[in-house]
Amino acid sequence: MGKGRWWIALVTFEPNASDQQLLPAGTAGACGWMVALAPDEDTAADLFTRDMAAWGVRVIEIEQEQEVFSDDEINEVDAHLAVNFRNMKPGERTVWGTFFAYGGEGEA
């Protein structure tokens, strides 16, 4: 793990722009685990919100935010997130793992 403090959280979001390319067409929203490099929990939440907005989606809720101390801890939560975490590019502050999309009326 790189220098700094690492935070994971379960992030729920929805499309905020018609040209967003993160979620499939017709998707009402999604949720999934993310990692952020931040000095504290509040800054991590701000980074999740900022970086998801850059993808054209709006964060609805950030839950289960907690500091992690090894990539093994991340792997226990989401193996795909751990892989993306290990492959973070220099300068990146957040990365996401597996997202689970949902349609209208609670349809998956």
CA angle 52, 24, 63 (to 5 degrees): 40
The per-residue pLDDT for 17 is: 74
pLDDT reading at 106 higher than 70: no
* DSSP string over the chain: --SS-EEEEEEEEEE-STT--SS-TT--EEEEEEEEE-SSHHHHHHHHHHHHHHTTEEEEEEEEEEEE-SHHHHHHH-HHHHHHHHTPPTT--EEEEEEEEE-GGG--
Tell me the mean pLDDT in the region 83-100: 93
- Looking at residue 1, its pLDDT comes to 54
Domain boundaries, the chain: 6-106
Average pLDDT over every residue of 59-67: 97
pLDDT tens by residue, 1-33: 556 899 999 999 998 877 787 888 888 899 999
Residue 60 pLDDT exceeds 60 = yes
Mean pLDDT of 34-49: 97
Is pLDDT at 69 greater than 90 in this prediction? yes
